[in-house]
Amino acid sequence: MASDGQQPLPGTGPERRRQAMGVLAKATRLELEQVWNALPQRPEAVPVRGPETGLVMVRGRIGGGGAPFNLGEVTATRASVRLEGGTVGHGQSLGTDGEKARLAAIFDALLQLPEHAPAVERLLSQVSARIEAEDAQRIRETAATRVDFFTMVRGDD
Amino acid sequence: MYVAVKGGEAAIANAHRLLADRRRGDRSLPSITIEQIVAQLGLAVDRVMAEASLYDRAIAALAIRQSCGDLIEAIFILRAYRTTLPRFGYSVPLETADMQVERRVSATYKDLPGGQLLGPTFDYTHRLLDPSLLHDAPVDEALQREGGQEPIMRVTDILADEDLMEDDGTLPEGHVPGDLTREPLEFPMARDLRLQALARGDEGFLLSLGYSTQRGYARSHPFVGEIRIGEVDVELDLPELGFAVSLGRIRITECQMINQFKGSAKSPPQFTRGYGLVFGQSERKAMAMSLVDRALRASEFDEDVVAPAQDEEFVISHSDNVQATGFVEHLKLPHYVDFQAELDLVRRMRREYEAGRGDKTDSDIPEAAE
């Protein structure tokens, strides 16, 4: 979450990169593949680490906001790549899809390069729009199950 | 003398082949897919993920298919799978207050910010068999309604200003959360470690223990302050970058149980709390967990420990169904030598018993193997 409420310019700053990585993690592999395959020039990406699948121990908090405790593990997959010019990108997401993590790492690296950043930004807004639409639909579906209480007026007094 | 016995390899191989054949069953029927199990038996998948303590829908569904729907067997398979993977780290603690809520109900407040949101619930169904599900009849899309953007505040925060509600549980400064996958269990344990054990505990076991507290074995006057189900972000710190990133979302169920408490020498009368947090959509488990969590806090409130649900060592030592099934099911494996020893012992005791009574012994005792 952006705590300061200020959004840096697209493609700059660690906060922008952090947000972008979060969106890439929620992208489907298909979304990443389609944009990658449509790039006019795909730079060479050398694997630095992975893709490797492992576990993250998820923590909760006692009572929701108290001391942390270990809830259970999730599968996660991560990858790091280096582009021709030396730019390093990291990709990580829930699940076991190594190719998705590798593509996310490439896009993370591309976002740091001014000539490629606009294409990555388009991908990010496309994925964000899909997630927002899904969330909005879920909110509306949940809202339809909201209980509207009404009071029965008794006529005998 | 120890006698090693070999044999059975062919029988075992053939039994496994027979199991694979039975698992596939009638070849004229289409094989069930992992995607179908995830999409249409989602609550079974959730249960396996919760009790395996491993969140991965596709892998849990694969385990369910492999186990022919035996969920404890599926949980066992997932537990074995997780031992093959490295640990990347610990997540940033989940923010359940920021949940994308799909269901939220409170039994303590009728009107509250965010409202009572029933979501996809079995509550208020009549539990009558639905013959329309015999066929692949079309199903209506869910209804939608605008105006669901109101913040959904945590029910436990409502009374916080009056100091009538115990705060979220704290542990001493510098306490490192215990991890039962890393260290052996030791009793007594801190509440964080207990919650980890309960979160992966068998739903049936915790349900029965929770039920026992309602029936009077450690009565705790519980109210469901709030149950919420929905998705939350899992964030992991990336040391190489110096910040935490979201890895995606998982669905969880949280239960805030509120319990009347008349006070003790140490604490004024107030409401105390039990907490439940479970992977997936599983409010029965989350509710049972919160009841047992509260019962296990007896010593914090100077309550007498008189019931099974309050006995930490009893509850935590027996809540894990993989451990339980392992020890119970091992009884069916060969115990030929143990039993021979027992047989000799019982025969000797019987001879002594008969001799003591002055009866004649029967010398024609058949061998166990006959």
Same domain (yes/no): B110, B233: yes
What are the chain A neighbours of B271 within 8 Å (beta carbons)?
Answer: none
Same domain (yes/no): B47, B158: no
Same domain (yes/no): B265, B313: yes
Same domain (yes/no): B18, B114: no
Give the closest residue to B225 by CA, choosing from B111, B108, B110, B118.
B108
Which pLDDT does position B367 carry in this prediction?
Answer: 55
Write out pLDDT tens, residues A25-76: 999 999 999 999 999 888 999 999 989 999 999 999 999 999 999 999 999 9
Nearest-angstrom CA–CA distance, B329 and B323? 10
- Percentage of residues in chain B having pLDDT higher than 90: 77
- Percentage of residues in chain A having pLDDT higher than 90: 78
pLDDT confidence band for B157 (50 / 70 / 90): confident
Same domain (yes/no): B34, B164: no
Q: Is residue A26 within 8 Å of B249, Cβ to Cβ?
A: yes
Mean of pLDDT values over B272-288:
97
Structure ipTM: 0.91
Of B93, B147, B180, the CB nearest to A68: B93
- Chain B touched by A8 (CB under 8 Å): no
Mean of pLDDT values over B335-364:
84
Name residue B223's beta-bridge partners.
Answer: B258
- Chain A touched by B34 (CB under 8 Å): no
Mean of pLDDT values over B281-302:
96
Number of folded domains in chain B? 2
Which pLDDT does position A8 carry in this prediction?
Answer: 43
CA dihedral defined by B81, B84, B89, B91, rounded to 10 degrees? -10
Same domain (yes/no): B51, B100: no
Q: Is residue B218 within 8 Å of B310, Cβ to Cβ?
A: yes
Tell me, yes or no, whether B91 lies in a domain: no
Mean pLDDT highest for which of B233-237, B263-267, B301-305?
Answer: B233-237
- Is the CB of B85 less than 8 angstroms away from the CB of A54? yes
Domain boundary residue, one of B82, B108, B134 = B82
To which H or E segment does residue B100 belong? strand B100-105
- B87-90 and B54-55 beta bridge pairing: unpaired
Q: Which residue segment(s) compose the domain that B295 sits in?
A: 96-120+151-169+182-321
Mean pLDDT taken over chain B: 92
Give yes or no for residue B90 having a pLDDT over 90.
yes
Q: Is residue B177 within 8 Å of A59, Cβ to Cβ?
A: yes
Same domain (yes/no): B273, B203: yes
Give yes or no for residue B213 having a pLDDT over 50.
yes
Q: Which two tokens stand for residue B106?
A: 């409170």
Tell me, yes or no, whether B332 lies in a domain: no
Residues in chain A: 157
Which pLDDT does position A5 carry in this prediction?
Answer: 40
What are the chain B neighbours of A141 within 8 Å (beta carbons)?
Answer: 142-144
Nearest-angstrom CA–CA distance, B252 and B112? 22
Which pLDDT does position B161 carry in this prediction?
Answer: 76
Q: Is residue B277 within 8 Å of B169, Cβ to Cβ?
A: no
Q: Is residue A72 within 8 Å of B280, Cβ to Cβ?
A: no
- Is the CB of A73 less than 8 angstroms away from the CB of B53? yes
CA distance A143 to chain B (A): 5
Q: Which two tokens stand for residue B101?
A: 């809520």
Of A21, A64, A142, the CB nearest to B96: A64
Same domain (yes/no): B111, B16: no
Same domain (yes/no): B225, B263: yes
Q: Where are the domains of chain A?
A: 13-135
> Count of CB contacts below 8 A, A vs B?
233
Which pLDDT does position B190 carry in this prediction?
Answer: 96
- Is the CB of B144 less than 8 angstroms away from the CB of A61? no
CA distance B176 to chain A (A): 9
Mean of pLDDT values over B117-124:
95
Interface test with A, best of B245, B249, B275 (most A CBs within 10 A): B245
Same domain (yes/no): B102, B14: no
Give yes or no for residue A9 having a pLDDT over 70.
no
- Is the CB of B243 less than 8 angstroms away from the CB of A18? yes
The alpha-helical segments, DSSP class H, found in A5-155 are 13-26, 29-38, 98-111, 117-143
Sheet holding B222-238, edge to edge: B100-105, B222-238, B243-261, B270-279
pLDDT confidence band for A6 (50 / 70 / 90): very low
Tell me, yes or no, whether B276 lies in a domain: yes
Which pLDDT does position B370 carry in this prediction?
Answer: 46
Same domain (yes/no): B55, B107: no
What are the chain A neighbours of B199 within 8 Å (beta carbons)?
Answer: 60, 71-72
- Chain A touched by B55 (CB under 8 Å): yes
Q: Which residue of A has its CA nearest to B199?
A: A71
Residue with tokens 């998982």: B250
